Amino acid sequence: MSEHTVVLPLAVIEGQHLIALLDEFLLLAESPTRDADAALQRLTPNAYPDDEAASQEYSALTRGDLLDRRVEEAALVRADLAAFDGEDDHGREDAMRPRDAVIPGDHLDAWLRTITALRLVLASRIGIETADTHDPDDPRYGVYDWLGYRLEGLIQAADERDARF
């Protein structure tokens, strides 16, 4: 993995909201009831849909490690957003002020997986099952779309990075 950094321009409020989403995800993924949470189960899909016994065995062997890796990567992303943490809201103009999230090249894959995980958990919570599922009156769909927009930008950055090397 390259050490080249990726700069993700975010408004201060976007960075703060992403931190809040990460904090909620970390609480959920570290909770004692995480194994029973349907949204987190979406992060560890059924490996053997036609064989229930094999699927349960595989899940028992891998689920904890997979979720622990998700927690580690979310914490890494959270740390990369330190410049947005504790920022005081002094009004709309300050909240919309741009600031760069500097992502070390070796963190980019963790960012991609973490934002994807956030979208999957949110999709599970709000009932998104197909691309056509969308309620414009529900603000959670706006968050889902915003995460998708940011994910797309990071994918483009990863593609550009890979094309250079």
* Average pLDDT over every residue of 90-97: 72
CA dihedral angle for residue 61, residue 64, residue 70, residue 76, rounded to 10 degrees = -120
For the cut 60, the answer to whether the pLDDT of residue 2 exceeds it is no
For the cut 50, the answer to whether the pLDDT of residue 148 exceeds it is yes
Judged against a pLDDT cut of 90, whether residue 133 lies above it is answered with no
DSSP for the chain reads -----EEEEEEHHHHHHHHHHHHHHHHHHTSTTGGG-HHHHTTS--S-TT-HHHHHHHHHHHHHHHHHHHHHHHHHHHHHTGGGTT-----HHHHT-EEEEEE-GGGHHHHHHHHHHHHHHHHHHHT--STT---TT-HHHHHHHHHHHHHHHHHHHHHHHHHH-
For residues 59-74, give the mean pLDDT: 93
pLDDT 10s digits, 94-124? 788 888 899 998 999 999 999 999 999 999 9
pLDDT of residue 126: 92
Q: What integer is the mean pLDDT of 127-140?
A: 85
pLDDT band at 86 (very low <50, low <70, confident <90, very high): confident
The overall average pLDDT reported for the chain is: 89
pLDDT greater than 50 at residue 33: yes
pLDDT given for residue 99 in this prediction: 87
Radius of gyration of the chain (CA): 17
Cα 75 from Cα 77, distance rounded (Å): 5
Whole-prediction pTM? 0.88
Q: Residue 1's pLDDT is what? A: 40
Split at pLDDT 50, 70, 90, the class of 136 is confident
